[in-house]
Amino acid sequence: MSQQRGTKAKIIYDTETTFKTPPAVADAALLTFVNESLRMSRNLLQSNSIAASRSAKMPVLGNVDVGGDITFELSPQYGRLFKHIFGGFTVTGGASAYTWTFTVSDLPAGMMVEKQFLDITTPTYYQYNGVKVNSFRLSAKTEGFIECSVALLGASETLATTTFDATATDFGFTPFNGFQGSILKDSVTLGVVTAVDLELNNNLDANTFVMDGTGQRYSLPEGRSETTGKVTALFIDNTLYEAAVNNTEVSLVLQFVKNAGGTPGTEGNEQMRFYVDECMFQPQAPAISGPTGLVVELPFTAYYNNASEASALRMVLQCAQGTF
């Protein structure tokens, strides 16, 4: 009897047309990931009845709570996932050089996610329906891969003995790294930034359980989106801090650019940019943490006021993939 190995586990995912309903025609994609915690949990609810005994009575099952995180390394091949992170998207271009623009809008109906465990004696497939992205986080540093994660909520879990799509598409995996990253403030490169953190929260309403006998969420409507983050930079002057104290509106661009000498967007020349067109820094003076060089950490909050793109956060991806 074989024990399942993490290295041999797979995740595939597809877009639902109707919430918590498997797609009529499967078109799944392989999801390359670092780790995950997506699963179903149900409380066991104890009875409060008294019946001349100190022993507890048989409990009953609570609601079906599907949720968890998936951590991954930022790569141009995650376009389908970003559709579910942002909601709005357009694609232009051709000849293996496409431009995808993702903006904050209504989210798709949901995702179907399948975890495949193929090492064990009887291969098993954990299938999740009605899955939506509650939040997206990105952490960029000076070296190494760009770590990202999505916090997911869902409606149901099914244990299956066959996959819902045996021919899932593998779009590849060519991740960005810290050497390919930079950040611009008001179109000027900030050469002293050491780290950038970014989060988009869709504020899903998870409390939609109804009395239908399933214990499952009826829906997962998104609320108002919130985009926040933090810029960490070497403390060399007061420019960033003064922008915060003076409540000055700024624009930020976090970009990752591969450059193999070819046309932007073609294979090996992918580019990804996160645009925060309108934001303000939160005043936070640098702390003296020790005898070595100091840094300034400035949290920021994004918003939409009058920027022409009309999205508190948007992402532009130039890649060779015309469909996701």
Q: What is the pLDDT of residues 186-209, one digit of tens each?
A: 999 999 999 999 999 999 999 999
Q: In the numeric block, which tokens belong to residue 320? A: 């060779």
- The pLDDT confidence band at residue 218, using thresholds 50, 70 and 90, is very high
Question: Quick check: is 324 in a domain?
Answer: no
Question: Quick check: is 150 in a domain?
Answer: yes
Q: In the numeric block, which tokens belong to residue 275? A: 């645009």
- Nearest of 137, 141, 139 to residue 149 by alpha carbon: 137
Q: Residues 135-139: what's their mean pLDDT? A: 98
Q: What pLDDT shows up at residue 260? A: 80
Supply the mean pLDDT for the chain. Answer: 96
Q: Name the one residue in this structure whose structure tokens are 């078109």.
A: 27
Q: What pLDDT shows up at residue 309? A: 87
Least confident of 194-198, 201-205, 257-261, 270-274: 257-261
Q: What pLDDT shows up at residue 102? A: 98
Question: Quick check: is 69 in a domain?
Answer: yes
Q: Work out the percent of the chain whose per-residue pLDDT is above 70.
A: 100
Question: Quick check: is 49 in a domain?
Answer: yes
- Global pTM value: 0.95
Number of domains in the chain: 1
Whether 130 has a pLDDT exceeding 80, the answer reads yes
- The pLDDT confidence band at residue 310, using thresholds 50, 70 and 90, is confident
Domain hosting 196: range is: 6-319
| Alpha carbon separation from 211 to 62, 249, 311 (Å, rounded) | 12, 48, 37
Q: What is the pLDDT of residues 42-73, one digit of tens each?
A: 999 999 999 889 999 999 999 999 999 999 99
Q: What pLDDT shows up at residue 258? A: 96
Phi, psi of 80 (to 5 degrees): -65, -40
Question: Quick check: is 305 in a domain?
Answer: yes
Q: Work out the percent of the chain whose per-residue pLDDT is above 90.
A: 94
Measured distance CA(23)–CA(21) in Å, rounded: 6
Q: Residues 89-93: what's their mean pLDDT? A: 97
Whether 124 has a pLDDT exceeding 90, the answer reads yes
Whether 1 has a pLDDT exceeding 80, the answer reads no
Q: In the numeric block, which tokens belong to residue 301? A: 């909050």
Question: Quick check: is 1 in a domain?
Answer: no
Q: What pLDDT shows up at residue 261? A: 85
Q: What is the 3-state secondary structure (H, E, C) of the chain?
A: CCCCCHHHCEEEEEEECCCCCCCCCCCCEECCCCEECCEEECCEECCCCCCCCCCCCCCEECCCEEEEEEEEECCCCCHHHHHHHHEEEEEEEECCEEEEEEEECCCCCEEEEEEEECCCCCCEEEEEEEEEEEEEEEEEECCCECEEEEEEEECEEEEECCCCCCCCECCCCCCCEHHHEEEEECCEECCCEEEEEEEEECCECCCCECCCCCCCECCCCECCCEEEEEEEEECCCCHHHHHHHCCCCEEEEEEEECCCCCCCCCCCCCEEEEEEEEEEECCCCCCCCCCCCCEEEEEEEECCCCCCCCCCCEEEEEECCCCC
Question: Quick check: is 286 in a domain?
Answer: yes
Q: Residues 228-237: what's their mean pLDDT? A: 96
Q: What pLDDT shows up at residue 5? A: 94
Whether 28 has a pLDDT exceeding 90, the answer reads yes
Question: Quick check: is 279 in a domain?
Answer: yes
Q: Residues 131-136: what's their mean pLDDT? A: 98
Alpha carbon of residue 138 to chain centroid: 8
Q: What pLDDT shows up at residue 47? A: 93
Q: Residues 147-155: what's their mean pLDDT? A: 98
Instruction: Report strand pairing: 110-117 vs 147-154.
Output: unpaired
Least confident of 63-77, 101-115, 233-247: 233-247
